[in-house]
Amino acid sequence: MPALDFSKGEFLATVLARAVQGSRTVAAGTNSPIPAAAALLARARAPAAMEAIVLGLGEYWPFTDGGRELFDFAAQGRLDSFFLGGGQIDGAGNINLVGVGGYPAGKMRFPGSYGSAYLYALVPNVVLFREEHSPRVLVERVDFISARGIGPEGAYRTGGPRLLVTGRAVFRFAGGAFLLLSYHAGESVGSIRAATGFAFAVAPDVHETAPPEPEDLAFLRGPIANALRPLYPRFVANALSAGTHS
Amino acid sequence: MPILRRRWSAPRPAVTSKVVTLGALVEGIAQGVRIGIPPDYAGPALLATFEIIRRAIGGLHLVTAPTSGIQADLLIGAGLVASVETAGISLGEYGSAGRFQAAVTAGAIEIKDATCPALHAGFQAAEKGVPFLPLRGILGTDLLASRPDWKVIRNPFADSSDPIVVVPAIRPDVVLFHAALADSTGNVWIGTRRELATLAHASRATFVTVEALHPGNLLSDPTLAPGTLPHLYVTRVAVAPGGTWPLPFAGRVPGDEGALARYAEASRSAEGFSALVREWLDARA
């Protein structure tokens, strides 16, 4: 079978969509084009009814009570999966969306914590996603904890990180540490180690991450591109179109 | 805020139009107020923001409900912001908010980091007239450690220890936003953007720009009334079509992608920012 032609965005959306398979509800937050595409793809491929919620996207934002409703929905236990990023992500699953090199003033400022400090504690299947996979991003210890990977002890907690997807690999988070499940085409366990600032274990059946199937690409380039175009015009133009990638 | 208090506690005729010019609306915003603004997707009043910049209304304490983008970045870049309380400021697909990031890393503004639901809860506490509200999550983070005004209490209804975060009410002096329709009484149609109602309920004064005036009374129309913010909470309204430019509005008005891309590029430096904002202000003079 000849290799399919697909963009990195299409590939990562497919990997993220698999990470939320089986959810009844999945949501993508602000400034998250690849997670938004993944949520819609997971819904398109779901064998049973699945709600895909995309912040800022008309018919995929089924809330009428303002921005707070998603957070209330999550605290009620109704939101199964959510995607979160991080300027830094550490080996204990902590994420930093605030900045590095000192606080409040510092060397570099990120946008802010958004809903992370809350949703991380309340959404059972949080999928961490950061395309850049480097020792600068995947660190031993974050400079600022926007949201905590585990605990603290005694705290009410129904959620947390379950998977980490990067531009190079997929990890599972369990027992307070990451386990390498798969590396993307062109990578190896060694190259992942070299690019990762925290220690991790390797799954016995570690393998190459599966590419998108033709059906994934058909959904992404057709109905999903059309649905996302008003919200993410640049992403749709650059990543969700056949034949423009090498 | 003495200026505000004087202006709005003065006796007024019982029936009056709240509709004023954009200039008169902005002149009601005093220096140094705590001003609440909505996120980019819920109607930021950007034409009004340009008028704030033209008049150099400074010393503002900005609080975003719960995030912002170009609006906060413009005010910060223009040197008009003393502090900002926010869950996040970015230009979305267009990249980082350059003036916000530069001001924070330089220590030029005070930053109060928050998380979206904590800001929603703070505004909700203010609208309920209670001093605080509890919410889940946040425990054990540096975010919580950075906020001495957020407390952890024991759930008073639990048998075992159940720590829970409480955040104080957020009561702005002014909120400013853009909506689709208003009538001359000051009723404003916000549709499903209920955070705008919460903001208005929480605030001492509410200034609204709108795309157009509704000829009748919004509360008399049973299809429009449920999405209407009553005039009780609205201080002034100005008609400003395209009032969120260059951002899109409500899925009806497209964004100006060229202008947004130019802003993202120019605002990486203070000089580029100043030149572009001067150009935009001159074009609207």
| pLDDT per residue as tens digits for the range B85-103 | 999 999 988 999 999 999 9
Q: How confident is the model at residue B4 (pLDDT cuts 50, 70, 90)?
A: very low
Checking if the pLDDT of B11 tops 90, the result is no
The answer to whether residues B65 and B30 touch, using CB atoms and an 8 Å cutoff, is no
- Chain A 38-57, residues with CB within 8 Å of chain B CB atoms: 55-56
**CA contacts within 13 A on the Cβ side of B143:** 31
Nearest-by-CA chain B residue for A75? B136
Q: Considering the domain boundaries, does residue A218 fall inside one?
A: yes
**Exposed, middle or buried: residue A216 (CB in 10 Å: 0-12, 13-18, 19+)?**
buried
Checking if the pLDDT of B207 tops 80, the result is yes
Checking if the pLDDT of B13 tops 60, the result is no
pLDDT in tens, B17-75: 899 999 999 999 999 999 999 999 899 999 999 999 999 999 999 999 999 999 999 99
Distance from A236 to chain B by nearest Cα, in Å?
11
| A56 neighbourhood in chain B, CB within 8 Å | 41
A152 prior amide bond cis, ω within 30: yes
The answer to whether residues A14 and A221 touch, using CB atoms and an 8 Å cutoff, is no
Low-confidence stretches of chain A (pLDDT beneath 70)? 1-3, 242-246
Name the residue with tokens 């007239």.
B129
Distance of CA A112 to the CA centre of its chain: 17
Domain that holds residue A73: 1-84+213-246
| ipTM summary value | 0.94
**Exposed, middle or buried: residue B8 (CB in 10 Å: 0-12, 13-18, 19+)?**
middle
* pLDDT at site B224: 97
Q: Considering the domain boundaries, does residue B161 fall inside one?
A: no
Q: Considering the domain boundaries, does residue B138 fall inside one?
A: no
CATH of the domain at B28: 3.40.1080.10
Name the residue with tokens 């909120």.
B175
* pLDDT at site A30: 82
* pLDDT at site B6: 47
pLDDT mean over B214-230: 97
Nearest-by-CA chain A residue for B104? A105
Q: Considering the domain boundaries, does residue B155 fall inside one?
A: no
pLDDT in tens, B133-183: 999 999 999 999 999 999 999 999 999 999 999 999 999 999 999 999 999
pLDDT mean over B220-225: 97
* pLDDT at site A41: 98
User: Does A115 sit within 8 Å of B116, measured CB to CB?
Assistant: yes
Q: Widest CA span of chain B, in angstroms?
A: 64
Q: Considering the domain boundaries, does residue A63 fall inside one?
A: yes
Name the residue with tokens 């109060």.
B112
* pLDDT at site A241: 77
Report the number of distinct structural domains present in chain B.
1
Inform me whether the C-beta atom of residue A76 falls under 8 Å from chain B C-beta atoms: no
Q: Which of A67, A114, A155 shows the shortest C-beta gap to B88? A: A114
Query: In a mutagenesis test of the B interface, which of A54, A61, A69, A71 is the best target, namely the one with the most B β-carbons within 10 Å?
Result: A71
Residue-wise burial string across A51-69, b where 16 or more C-beta atoms lie within 10 A, e elsewhere: bbbbbbbeebbeeeebbbb
B151: alpha, beta or left? (left if phi > 0; alpha if psi -120 to 50): beta
Q: Hey, how many other C-beta atoms are within 10 angstroms of the C-beta on B58?
A: 15
Report the number of distinct structural domains present in chain A.
1
Nearest-by-CA chain A residue for B113? A112
Q: Considering the domain boundaries, does residue A235 fall inside one?
A: yes
Query: In a mutagenesis test of the A interface, which of B41, B142, B249 is the best target, namely the one with the most A β-carbons within 10 Å?
Result: B142
Q: Using only the alpha carbons of chain B, give its radius of gyration.
A: 19
Q: In Å, what is the CA distance from A198 to each residue of A105, A110, A133, B149?
A: 26, 21, 12, 34
User: Does A117 sit within 8 Å of B141, measured CB to CB?
Assistant: yes
CA distance B93 to A97: 17
User: Does B193 sit within 8 Å of A66, measured CB to CB?
Assistant: yes
Q: Widest CA span of chain A, in angstroms?
A: 54
CA distance B37 to A160: 31
CA distance B85 to B112: 4
Q: Considering the domain boundaries, does residue A27 fall inside one?
A: yes
**Exposed, middle or buried: residue B257 (CB in 10 Å: 0-12, 13-18, 19+)?**
middle
Q: Considering the domain boundaries, does residue A47 fall inside one?
A: yes
The answer to whether residues B133 and B166 touch, using CB atoms and an 8 Å cutoff, is yes
β-pair type (A201-208, B236-239): unpaired
Inform me whether the C-beta atom of residue A151 falls under 8 Å from chain B C-beta atoms: yes
Q: Considering the domain boundaries, does residue A89 fall inside one?
A: no
What is the DSSP code string of B175-244?
A: EEEEEEEE-TT--EE-TT-HHHHHHHHHSSEEEEEEEEE-SS-GGG-TTTGGGEE-GGG--EEEE-TTTT
Q: Considering the domain boundaries, does residue A177 fall inside one?
A: no
Inform me whether the C-beta atom of residue A117 falls under 8 Å from chain B C-beta atoms: yes
Domain that holds residue B234: 2-9+17-131+169-283
**Exposed, middle or buried: residue A190 (CB in 10 Å: 0-12, 13-18, 19+)?**
exposed
User: Does B105 sit within 8 Å of A116, measured CB to CB?
Assistant: no
* pLDDT at site B74: 98
Query: In a mutagenesis test of the A interface, which of B76, B93, B115, B153 is the best target, namely the one with the most A β-carbons within 10 Å?
Result: B115
* Per-chain mean pLDDT for chain B: 94
Nearest-by-CA chain A residue for B38? A67
Q: Considering the domain boundaries, does residue B159 fall inside one?
A: no
Q: Which residue has the higher pLDDT, B11 or B107?
A: B107
